[in-house]
Amino acid sequence: MTKRFWRNTLIISILLLIISIWAVDYWVRVSTKQQQFADVSAIPKNKVGLLLGTSKYLNSGGINPYYQYRIDAAVSLFLAGKIEFILVSGDNSAVNYNEPEKMKRDLVARGIPEGHIFLDHAGFRTLDSVLRCKEVFGEDNFTIISQPFHNERALFIANRKGISAIAYNAKDVRGQNGFKVMVREKLARVKMVVDLLLNTQPKYFGPRIIIA
């Protein structure tokens, strides 16, 4: 094999990878566009809002804007009567790291009754959060709450799993932090499609929990 052959092979492989990433991204965006809402008054009412977790603090020590805007969005939906319960789904894989508990405390501080907040401590990934909402918490018609890019991926998963979900878009984040997240998101979408093709399941399921 000549150097030219291997160089051309590498170039073609890179081009195919770029095209695949673009195609998946476009597919996810277009197929979920009609299920997203940014206006509280326009979004249909659902029993449960699935609030997708994230870290409260940045590495620099400040408040993570993705976290703050998701809390704001969940509070807005609840106070507008568009959801009755909030299921907070996030990572609790370490003793000193508990996304759902932090979100719950901040939701209660904002006036959400504690009895209307349920926690999913095994929402390690978006796929886990969406599937556990159906299989563990018994909900197959709910409102996903996160930033637009994240909602698109969560809705795509729901659509492929026969779940009737809509999403409320929390305020997005611009600037350098937003750019880095969007780059990671492109790759996360490719990984998501692979997981769906392989029928990857959540890390844990567990006993049924009724939200009421």
Question: Confidence band (pLDDT; 50, 70, 90) for 14?
Answer: confident
The yes-or-no verdict on residue 93 having pLDDT over 70 is: yes
User: So what's the pLDDT on residue 2?
Assistant: 80
State the CATH number of the domain containing residue 49: 3.40.50
Look at residue 124 and tell me if it is in a domain.
Answer: yes
Residues 108-132: pLDDT tens digits?
999 999 999 999 999 999 999 999 9
Bridge partners of 119?
A: 88
Look at residue 121 and tell me if it is in a domain.
Answer: yes
pLDDT > 70: what percent of the chain? 98
User: So what's the pLDDT on residue 167?
Assistant: 98
Contact between 69 and 178 (Cβ < 8 Å) = no
Between CA 72 and CA 174 the distance in angstroms is 17
| Distant-in-sequence, close-in-space partners of 110: CB < 8 Å, separation ≥ 6 | 71, 75
Q: Count up the domains in the chain and report the number.
A: 1
Question: Closest by alpha carbon to 37, among 47, 28, 45?
Answer: 45
Look at residue 207 and tell me if it is in a domain.
Answer: no
| Distant-in-sequence, close-in-space partners of 129: CB < 8 Å, separation ≥ 6 | 50, 52, 53, 89, 90, 120, 123, 154
Look at residue 203 and tell me if it is in a domain.
Answer: no
Question: Closest by alpha carbon to 140, among 121, 122, 124, 159?
Answer: 159
User: So what's the pLDDT on residue 181?
Assistant: 84
User: So what's the pLDDT on residue 176?
Assistant: 66
pLDDT > 90: what percent of the chain? 77
- Find the helix or strand (DSSP H, E) in which 87 lies: strand 83-89
Question: Confidence band (pLDDT; 50, 70, 90) for 61?
Answer: confident
Look at residue 192 and tell me if it is in a domain.
Answer: yes
Residues 17-30: pLDDT tens digits?
888 889 999 999 99
Look at residue 126 and tell me if it is in a domain.
Answer: yes
Average pLDDT over residues 2-11: 78
Look at residue 13 and tell me if it is in a domain.
Answer: yes
Look at residue 188 and tell me if it is in a domain.
Answer: yes
* Owning domain of residue 8: 3-197
Between CA 169 and CA 149 the distance in angstroms is 9
pTM reported for the whole predicted model: 0.91
